[in-house]
Structure 1
Amino acid sequence: MAPIDWNEYLQGDPVPGLHFHCFRWSGQGGLLESYKMQSQRNPGTADFDASDLPPEATRHYLLKRRLVAATFESAKQAAEWMREQWDASPPKITHKDPESRQQFAERTLSLGKPDVWSWWYPEPGAPTKVHLAVVPCPYHWPDDPEPMPCPQPPQ
Structure 2
Amino acid sequence: MTREETKGSGRITIRDAKDSDIPTLAQIWFDGWQDAHAEILPSGLARHRTLESFAERLVHALKSVRVADSANGLLGFSMVKDDELYQLYVAAPGRGAGVAASLNADALSRIKEQGFQLAWLACAIGNARAARFYQKSGWNRTGTMISELETPEGIFHLEVWRYEIQLS
TM-score (norm 1): 0.28
Higher relative contact order (CA 8 A, sep 6+): 1
Which has the larger Rg?
Answer: 1
TM-score (norm 2): 0.27
Q: Larger % of strand: which?
A: 2
